Structure formats: C-alpha cells, structure tokens
Structure 1
C-alpha cells in the first residue's frame, strides 16, 4: 500500500512538471507581461544592539529594521511583518526571535538579557513582503543584515553617572540631565493642588512630591491689595480681608511661576485679570486683562511623533452640562482655543469633580440625575478628536489649533446608565475621588439621625460598587475629607466630635475615633468646628476651632499626636487661636494657619503660620500672620497675609559672602584679623545680614512686619580656609557672623610660613540660604 501511494505521488509530480514545462513553451512572453504587474524593490536589513560591551545578565536593546517604511502606512499600520532576529550565543547555540513586527518607522526593538560570558552574534532576517496597495504592486525582497558582535563580560557596566540633586539655592528650569529631580520639584496646578476650588470652608491640600520650606525665611513680598490698619477716625479697623467668601489669593505655581487671578476685595466676580509672577523674584511676567484662570495643566504627550510635557492654562465657566473652557499657553498667556459643551459639574464651592488623569489630561466625573447617567469627560479626547492629523488617526500628533472652537461632546469617553433605585446624587461637593473610586452622596432629612446615603462608582466603568446608608451621624452637617487615601475616606460628625473612617472598596465602617473634645491638652467643645482633615502618610490630620492639630492612625483611628497652640487669653473668643480654612501638607510637614470665617474689622492678634513635623507633631517653625490656603512647590510656600494684604513667598534665598584680610606684610607669628560678611541677597531684603534659623521668625517680622528689632539675633557659621605659601589648602577655623553688627564676622589668624596667603571664606548655606 505504501509503494502504491508513493507511486501515485510521483505521477502527480511528473504531470505537474510536464505541465509547467509546456506552459513555459506556450507562453514564452508571459514573464515580460507579468513584470509589468509588479515591481521588485530591494531591501536592506539592519541590526543595532547596545550597549557594547555589556555585563552578563544585564539588558541589551536589540533594534531590527529595514531601510524602508511601509508604503502608505500610518501609526496604526500596516507594518512590515515576519522579522527574525537570530542570536548566536558564545557556546554556539542559536536562539531566534521570530514573528517580529515593525512599527511605522520600518523597525522595532526588544530587550534581551545575555546569560553567558563571551561574544554574542546578532542578525536581522527580513523574509520579504508583498505590498498590494500600490500601482503596480511591489515585492519587497528578502534581506539579511550584517552580523553584529557584542562582548558580554563578567563585570557589569556602570550606569551613566547621576548628578546629585540640588541642596543649595536653585531655580527653574531644572536641567533635564539631572534625573530624579521629581523627588524635590513639583507644580501646584489647581487651587487645591489636585482639585479645582479650595475656597474657605475647611479645604485642605496635600502635595506629595515637592520640597517645602524648612524655615520662615521670606524670599519676597508684594502688595496684593490694601491691607492693615486704616487709621484716622476708623481707629484700629483694618481693610477688608476677603476671608469670608471672596478669597484674595488662590495661586497656581507652574515651573517657577506664580499665576493667580485678581478680583475686587468684596466681589470675587469682578475679575481684574490674571497675573504671572516670577516665583524667585516676584517680578511680573505677563498679565491677562479680565481673564480668570481656573487651573493649569501639564500634559504628557507620548505618541510616535512627540514625547514630552506641554503646559496649558484653563479658564472654566458655565453650567454643569454645557461649560465653556478656554485654553491658554502657560508660558506666554496667549489664548489658544475654546471648548464648548463641556460636561464638568460646574464650579463647586470646594472640591469638585475635575481631576487629572494619568497623563495630566483633565477628567470630569458627572452624575446626570435626570437621565440616570454616569458620565466621564476627557479633555485630551476632545482635542485629539477635533484635530486627528494623519488620515483620521487620533493620537498621532497633538496639535490644538489656535483660534479653534471645539465641540466638547467629542470628549465624552464614558456615558453609562446608573440604577433607577438610586436617589438624586450630588453632582459636585461632596463628591470624592481617589484610588479608582468615585463616591457621591445624598441625604434623607425626613429621618433623624439624618440618613447620609453614599454610593461608590468604579471610576473606569461607572459600575456601582456599593451603596451605604450612614445612620450614625448625628450632626446636621457631615464634612467629608477632601481626599481618599490609605484605602479609606473619612467623615466628621460635628455633634459627637468623632471621625468615622470607611473602607473605600467595600463602604464598611472601619473605625470611629474618640471624641475630639476629650483629647489632648486643654480640650474644648470648640472641637465641634473641626472643619479640616486630610489623609496623608498613613494618617488622618485634623485641625479646628479648639486650637488643636491632631494626627490619627489611618488604619486604626488611634491618636498619634496632638499639638496645641496654647491659650489666647482675652485676645480671641475661643480661648485659643482657631483654624478654619484648611492646612497644607507637603514634604513631611503640616503648614497650618490661624484664621476664621469672618473676622472682625479689628483683627485679633497672635495668629501664626505654624510648620509641624507630620510624623511627630513637633513644632519646626512659626511666624506671625494669617496665611490662608498655603500653596507649595519647589521648596517654596506662598500665601497672602491678611494682617497687611501682602503676598509672601517663604523659602531658601541666595546669599553672598565677603572676606578681607590686611593687604600689608606682617612678620611670621604675628596675628592678622580676617574680616567679612554673610549677606542675604533675597529680593525681599537684599544686602541684609544672614541669620540663624532660631532667630529667623523674629528677624523676618522685624524686616517685613514692622516689629521691633530683636535684642539678640544669632548669626551663621563661616568656614575659613587658607592657601599657604607652599600651595597646601588648609582649614584654619570657623567664625560666626554678628547680624546686629551688619552681618560681619572676624577671625584672628597667625601665619607660620613666610610668603603670600590666600584666604577663602565658605558659607555652607542653611535651611534659609544657599551657599
């Protein structure tokens, strides 16, 4: 049977060969005719492997390609297919990566980890490919690259050396070769760092990346509007602070610039315009007349053509389902485009539904109660859809056209139904977002305790995760934390002065704190007005009218530390100094100020900006002033002081060192007096003496707040070195400056060699000054 089958196969083969020969004789002109149906293109294959040499078990980048891109291809395809990269190891074994596909550039890459010491060989093999979309058709012929040899050694090769992060005085821009600078540098893009509106009623903020000031050193000040005592027949009455509702100063900080909107003191709707100031000098860079900027945006563009960050500013207005957003260039303030019909939830008093996506895109969450819809809107989707660029391919390039008006409905990325059984839910505050969950709320005030209904949605799909009725909150007001963190969100019950923590994924109550009006030194029932709390560093931080700042363990609800401002005597009606408008957490520190909703025209005294250690509650520094809604970026903090109506920027400033020695010859063994100065060169007080951190607050209050000059001020250390006549470099001692004597220092030095000495004074810098 086997022979029979083989015999049949041979017959078939013979017939085929005979037919083929016959056909070639009958149609001798066919090859010429078919040659006109397609064109053969020669290809050239390449292989690039790096680094060379490399250590065993270190990664190699293997790039394969041919010299041509696919005709008519886009970033979506079609692409060259079927590449093989042949790898010959030092022991002679061959490994092949097959079925590889190029991208729109004609090639691609993969990571390979060699596991043997010796010489590896790499080669690209392109199998050839038909392209039928051209006229005539094309056959791209097979090709092979040259063989590339890579030396794999036993010792690992070192990484590119990192430049150390700056610890001295520094400014933006940060050179892109300094990797890791994200650990100390950050922007403040929204008024509440990562939410649009901070306002006045207990809006806290947390900046997880930025450095923040370690001393109350003032870099500069600038008058925002009239402030301080009016005088004359008005006695000690001061100018209106705007603390009740208007909020005088809610800055954005972007790449070394402060951007804020000015308005009339008693009417926040009367917009004067938006100013852009240099963070380091206070000098004005540009002004947008009549424009209110809501937030900034840093958008990470990653597509085949563009890679990097683009900065925009946004002015937002209009109702919840048909808002108008206008984009501006952040560097120049120039208007770019407008998006109409934006679904965004509208302007909220505090918090809100607009957040940043993973690439910096602006994402809005909106609940349409009438239509029972959960809607997610994406700014980048609207822009990419409006300007698709190549062949209708979205995402190929980011090109928002100047002067364009975009239909915001292009930005809806999710629109799903929600269950009919849900009650009408809040479309703004209090709606919480974080850790992939959106929580909306409703109230049933027909019962007591009031039933607070919380509904959790999956932020990606809109699916309802859980619904919970909170029936153990006795206060008329329940105040949610401004954020979700550590897997929980928190409510405060003003009636019982207790915190309630809930699991963000299940909605189950995790813990209830002890009553705040029973905790710490001199507890007070003013703890009922604890309007400020935020989750960060695994803790829940609180502050209120009782003069206490507290930290609770986010996992257990146990009190970790308690800081008390102390007694205010007769100066305030609270027995201490209250906290109303929210604190700022950054760089392992809590910045909290004393203020209230509507202070009298004769302001009470003793308010301060306090800087506390977030881990221990230890006081790090304090300075006089009512500094509401502190914003932090790049090691600086800024706020307006309601005692004088001036903008303040706190942080490290530049310094200058001067040194002199007698320019006359002296005999060996004779003492000479070295003199010099260390001066603060900050724009706010240039050429004034540098002082130690311990004296900084009093010194700054003297220079900027019309306080008396302190009777005792500590100076800063100066290290002195000498280059001896024999060329050696020697430390000769440390002197301390005398700020009350103009910042001078002096040091007696006795030379022991004949010849000329060069004296060098080195100020190493402090928390307040660069070197």
Structure 2
C-alpha cells in the first residue's frame, strides 16, 4: 500500500490560494479603475429604491408593530431627510388606508407604529414621491431628482390571540449584586437609585428616595473610619473624641453617583475628596478635587443624565464642584476633571426629566424669569462656535465637552415675565410644572401677620402665567407659619404643606387654587415646635404616596392621610434609660422614605459629652406605623456632619459614637456542608456545616482578628444586638439564634427527599442527621433561603451508603492450620537468599 504524501494537501491548498490571489488581483484592478470614475452622477432624474419592513411580521389583533420605511440613499445636512413618504395598507377585508405623509432622518429611514384591528393578512406598500437632492451626497449631485417609486407588497399575518414573544424580563437579584449592572438587566433600575444632592434645593431634597430595596434589618455591610473617634481612653475617663457637631461636621454633603459614594475627608484645611464603592466598601480614589487643573474644590452635587441625539444615546455621570457662578464637572469613577462652565445663572436648582440640571431664576422686582439647563449650555455653545456650518447640528449632537471651558449663558432656553405684585420669595419649584411662593420668612420665628401665597405656571408655553395669588387666612394669631424644612408637596394630591411652629399643626394648600384643603388636629409633642420649621435637617416632613410623615425634636413620628389630614399612625422613639436629657423620647427627624418604609435617626445640634448611650436608628412601616427594626446605639444622624442617605439599596451614615461611616443593607451569606464519605446501611448520616455572614466588613482585619472562623449569620430578630456586638464591640448576645437551613437529598435511584430543616447556632454551626435506607450514593443539599438581612446560599456534598452496616462485626475467614510454621518461614528465607546470590554471581562474571 502506497503511503499518501503528507504534503499533498498542502500543495493543493497552495494551488487554490494561488488562483485566489490572481482573482483578487483582477478584482482590485477592476475596482481601481472604478475608483477613478467621477464620484457624482450627472444631474438629471435617477431611479429610487424605497424600503419597508414590518416588525414583527406576525402579531395579534391590537398589538403594535413597527413600520420601518425609507429609501436607500442618505441625505447630507442641512437636508434633514426625505419627505412626503406614505404607506398604503390593505386590510384582510380588502379595505385600504394611507398612512403618512412621513419624513425620514438623514439616514434615509424612519419609523411608525401600526396597530392591526382584525385577523388575517395585511399588505403594506411604501410610496416614495419624486424629490430633489438638496445637498450632494452618495454620488448624487445637488439638483438631481430621485423619481417616484414604491416597494413590493410586504405582508403582516395577524391572529386573534396570542401574546407577543418579548425578551424575557431579568428577575431582581436573589444573590448579592455589584456594579456595573449589565444593561440587559433592565428591571434592576428599581433597586439602583443614586443620591445626587443633599444640599438644600427646592423640590429636590431627597427625603423621598425611590428606586431602592429598603433594608428590612439593621444589618451592617461594612464600616470605614472617617476620623479619629470613639472613647479617648486613659485619664480622659468617659470622654470621647469630638464628632464635629456643632458647625464642624465631618461628613458634610455626602452623595452617591451611580454606585460611587463621594465624601470629604477633612472639614478644614486641604479638602481631600474620596470615592468608595457602595456595594463593596472598596476605596476607589482619594485626592484633592481639582488638583489636575490647579484648584482645590469641594464636591457640591452629582448628576446622572440621559443624552440622546442622532448618533449618541446614553447616560453620563458627573460630580460637580462649584465656585460661585463657575461649575466644574468631574468623573465620579476617577475624580478626573472633565469640563468647566462659567457664568452659570443663580437660582433654584432642580433636576429635569432626563437628569439635566435646571436652574430657575426669578427676579421678583422686575417680574422676569428664566430657565437654564446643563445640556442646552453645551449644545447651544457648540452651535454658536460653528456658526452657519451646515454640519453644526450634527457636531453639537456629539457629547464632547471634555477638556473644555465655555460660557454657560447659552444654556438659557426660556425667558418669561410675570406680574410684579407677587411678594415674598420662591418656596417650591416643580420643574416644567409650577413654582410656589410666599412671604412667610423665618425672621427668627416671629409670628406671621399677613401671609400671602402664590403660584406661577412653568409648563412649556405657559411660563409666567399666574395660577393664583391670594392671602391665606390665618388659622390662629401669634403663630409662626412657614414651609417645613423639606418643603413637602404632592403632585398626585395637588397640594403643598404649611406648618404652624407653636401649634404643631399642618395645613394642606391646593397647588391649583391656593385654597386650604384641610388641617391636622392630632397632638404632636411640644418639642416639635423647635424643629418643624427650623433647620432643614430637623424639620423634614415628607409626602410619600398617600401619607404625610412628620417627625422631629419631639421624638414622635406621625403619619397623616393626604386625602383629609386625619392621623393614620404615631410612633414614639422611647428613651428607656433617660440618656437623652431633653425629652422622654429620642429626637428623630425623618431621614428619608423608601420602598414603603420610613427611616429615622437620632440627631442633636451639639451632643453633650459623655455622649448619651443607646441613640436609635429606626425603620417604620409607613402603612401602619409598625416598627420594622431598631438599633439602639448606632446613631447615624448629625446636624452638621451629614445626614444618612440611601442609594443602591444601601443606607450610608456617619456614626458619632466612633466617627465611622456605616453601610447598612442586605448582605451575602456563605454556607458549607459536610457528611462522612462512607457509612454503612442503616447507620445515621450526620449532616453538618456553617452559615456565615460574607459581607465586606467581615473581611476587615479587625473582624478577622475577633472572628477567625468568620462572622456567623444571625436571625433578623436578633440582628440589631448582633451588629452592635460585631461592629461596636458590645457584649455578645448568647441567646441569639442563627438562620434556618433546609436539608434535602437525592437518593441513589434519583428520588428527591425533603429531609427537613434545622437552625444554626450563635456560632454559625448547624447539624442534622438521617438514616439512609438504600445502598449507593446520596446527594445532600443544604440551603439557606435568605432572610431580611441576607441573600441565600447553598452547597452540596455526597455520601455513599455501603452494603453492610459498619456496626456489624466482620467474621474473619477460617485460617489454614499450621501453614506458616517457624520452619517454613526459615526455609523460604534461605531460598530467597540463594536466588539473590546466584544472580549476583552471574552479573560479576559478565563483567
């Protein structure tokens, strides 16, 4: 048999490649000759080739379909597209209709929605009317006419029923999640909100924080030291390090921008800014903000906005620092300077519908107003730079401000006038809707004499129109009336709130008429008089869905129905040991509301030292006022050092007990399971393992020194005391319970077995036993399904059941009597030695 030449295949391949090279050369030469032909066809009339797609091509009655229409050549700016296209539709019953006329964009394409009304086959035809090329493009000279034409019929099959086959939703995570979030997990927007602004801005005070999965326990994810803190020790006795209150707050104006916590390291001197990953506690960067442009700046507010133009669609995130009317934008991920705007107008700063920052400016004396926004500032500045360039709109649509410093005056999009008889100042700005104002000023808390309230329209096309301007009849003389600290309002219920300081009563005023709708009558603590309208942080009242929530220095939170002002519930923050010297209840301003829950944190103007022990952080069910959880001794609220915030479903706050930043939220867990590898049939199998807290804070050196075997996962009911033990070094709650572990199995015949449940102990260990009945290998599955504090975890192991129980003695085989006697052993040894000697002799002889 002849062997095949191993190079034969390679030779054939080389021959084929040679032919391909020759063909390619011919093609290239041909194309080269084409390339030297004129790029533009001569003027005249040229055929057109319209296109049409129906997406999807099968649908049910009443379901939307997309008609994608157009023509193959694009247009060049400033010709914005082709015009006058129509779509002829023939229904299954033979009736016809014409849709349009439609225009395309510069790509030559456009889209329209169509909803079929009957079952059967629809037929669509796109009609393109003859028109001129206004700007030379795609080889067509200016003035060239594209002839009218139409597409072939495109069919749509419509059925009576059946749901559209949409891309399946991504369920919310049942495991611990981190950023970046894959863009395909669209549904996760509901749990990943940012906290962009803590400084005071009308109508955007962030006391209502949607887009979070509000923590259901006080479980701590991680801690970070902000400054030297806690008990000073030694001869300083009970005294602790100062916490910044009053006036020297250590954590002022924190914010979270797309999962990045931005904070300041120092109160005075060099202003160092840092960024921390909210979900991991990892320090991302720390630097002097603006050092790359020769400045030393402090963070002011954040922004996440959506930009969409013909070629650019997506969100941008910025950290802003301000110097008067100059705004500097920085990358929150790195702290790098991005761009600067000068001459930004002063006024009420709010966030627009796409996240653009808007500034409403009102001159009450002149009766003029203006509206400015960040995106228009860049876009219109870019248009100004390019003047009459026909490509200006295209260029401005590209978001390229990086490295630029420009005049922000181009961002003013609206100017309007209003009557000059409106007295007072702006109180609430609801962007693109209305502005509420009054003459009720703080004035040291003096009684209001002649209150006047007014509203001006901000809807596009109606800016400056007066909605109402009227006197508000005083409910009671000698009382200071004002807007509460967070200026609560409800668009849904068409009202805003005014509060009486001394009476601790709240009044709902219609945003459409200025008429009083209702007044509360429930008793609120006298100490609330010191906080209802004083200090924005203390007098925070929030309209959440159908409830008005008030709380403050009096230590009682109250929920009122927004329909009529009737009291829905009250919650008292009891001061059991009298540590707080100014009331029987701890002062608890509203921190924020989210996910149907209200979060309240003890706050003082300037706490005495030694500090009062046991200051609470509290979560309340806003539906009924019931306590969800409470930690006495966490204390996250400070008047000057930064209020607690929530973002990415994590609560972040500054604890004055030890000057640390604390992150609370639902954490990861880690479960292990072990069994013996082999047991005898009928022998019990011991299933054991651990369930541990796998949160980032448990990996810190301080935690691993105290918990070398890990931090146990503990029940929700015992979580508050357990967190104080783990992170605040309080006594260990020995009676604390662990979590429920479910034990399952699959027997050797692949039958599922639900064996039962057990509970881990205070050290994180669990145990469970069962007796297998069949021989073979069992799969053992242990599962912690999760809790309010933890996401679940699971693990598997295997045990083999033998044919004989290990408890049954094995009978030895009957020995052969006298077989290995001493004489036999000696004889065998002599034989072996002789064999070795003979072998050695022959080896030597060969040499």
Is this a same-fold pair by TM over 0.5?
Answer: yes
Computing the radius of gyration over CA atoms, which structure comes out larger, 1 or 2? 2
- Deviation per CA, 1:471-491: give whole Å up to 9, x if none: 446334734343321321112
SS of residue matched to 1:583 = strand
Give, in angstroms, the shift of residue 397 of structure 1. 1.2
Which of 603, 628, 631 is 2:645 aligned to?
A: 631
* Contact 1:37–1:137 (8 Å) recurs in 2: no
Q: Which residue of 1 aligns with 2:335?
A: 333
8 Å contact kept, 1:432–1:482: no
In structure 2, what is the equivalent of residue 718 of structure 1?
741
1:751 corresponds in structure 2 to 772
- Counterparts of 1:670-689 in structure 2, within 5 Å, are 670-686=683-699, 687-689=710-712
Out of 775, 779, 786, the position equivalent to 1:765 is 786
Question: Which residue number corresponds to residue 146 of structure 2?
Answer: 140
Q: Please show how residues 654-669 of structure 1 align to structure 2 within 5 Å.
A: 654-667=668-681, 669=682
**Which segments of 5 or more consecutive residues in structure 2 lack a partner in the other structure?**
1-39, 289-295, 533-538, 638-642, 700-709, 793-847
Q: For 1:250-289, what aligned pairs fall within 5 Å after superposition?
A: 250-264=253-267, 267=268, 270=269, 272-289=271-288
Aligned to 2:302: 296
Equivalent of residue 45 in structure 1, options 50, 60, 82: 50
Q: 1:484 aligns to what?
A: 489
Match of 1:178 in 2: 185
Distance 2:501 2:233 in 1: 40
How far off is 1:541 after superposition?
A: 0.7
Alignment RMSD: 2.6
**Structure-1 residue corresponding to 2:836:** none
Q: Aligned-pair distance for 1:569?
A: 4.9
Would you say how many aligned residue pairs link Structure 1 and Structure 2? 703
Q: Equivalent residue of 1:387, what SS?
A: helix
Q: Secondary structure at the residue paired with 2:720?
A: helix
User: Is contact 1:315–1:325 with CA below 8 Å preserved after alignment?
Assistant: yes
What is the alpha-carbon distance in structure 2 between the residues aligned to residue 36 and residue 541 of structure 1?
Answer: 72
Corresponding residue for residue 442 of structure 1: 439
- 2:58 aligned with 1:58: no
**DSSP-derived class of the 2:208 partner:** strand
Task: Map 1:84-99 to 2 at 5 A.
Answer: 84-99=86-101
Structure 1 residue runs of 5 or longer lacking an equivalent are 1-34, 199-203, 346-352, 518-522
- Provide the C-alpha distance between the structure 2 equivalents of 1:136 and 1:559, rounded to a whole number of angstroms: 73
Aligned partner of 1:410 in structure 2 is 410
1:607, distance to aligned residue in structure 2 (A): 0.8
Question: What is the TM-score when the length of structure 1 is the normalising length?
Answer: 0.86
SS at match of 1:182: helix
Q: Which has the higher strand share?
A: 1
1:643 is aligned, of 638, 648, 657, to 657
Task: Tell me the equivalent position of 1:543.
Answer: 551
Q: For 1:214 and 1:171, how far apart are their aligned partners in 2?
A: 19
Residue 387 in structure 1 maps to residue 386 in structure 2: no
- Answer yes or no: is the 8 Å Cα contact 1:372–1:417 preserved in 2: yes
Q: Secondary structure at the match of 1:263?
A: coil
- Decide whether the 8 Å contact of 2:481 with 2:498 is kept in 1: no
Label 1:83 to 1:232 Cα distance change in 2 as closer, same or farther (>3 A): same
> Match for 2:77 among 61, 66, 73?
73
| Aligned mates of 2:634, 2:328 — CA distance in 1 | 36
Residue of structure 1 in register with 2:587 after alignment:
579
Deviations 1:594-630, CA, capped at 9 Å, x for gaps = 1211111321122110000011110000112221222
Deviates more, 1:690-699 or 1:303-312: 303-312
Instruction: Map residues 608-627 of structure 1 onto 2, 5 A cutoff.
Output: 608-623=616-631, 624-627=633-636
Superposed CA deviations along residues 660-699 of structure 1, whole A, max 9, x for unmatched, are 00123312x2212111111111111242110100010111
Please list the CA deviations of residues 386-405 of structure 1 after superposition, one character each: whole Å capped at 9, or x if unmatched: 12376332895142422212
1:602 to 599, 610, 624: 610
Which deviates more, 473-482 or 440-449? 440-449
C-alpha contact 1:487 1:503 (8 A) present in aligned 2: yes
Equivalent residues of 1:168, 1:765 under 8 A apart: no
In structure 2, relative to structure 1, the CA distance for the partners of 1:683 and 1:233 (3 Å cut) is same
| 1:438-486 superposed Cα distances (whole Å, 9 cap, x missing partner) | 1233358799643343332222413332223444463347343433213
> Secondary structure of 1:699's partner?
helix
- Distance in 1, matches of 2:644 and 2:658, equals 16
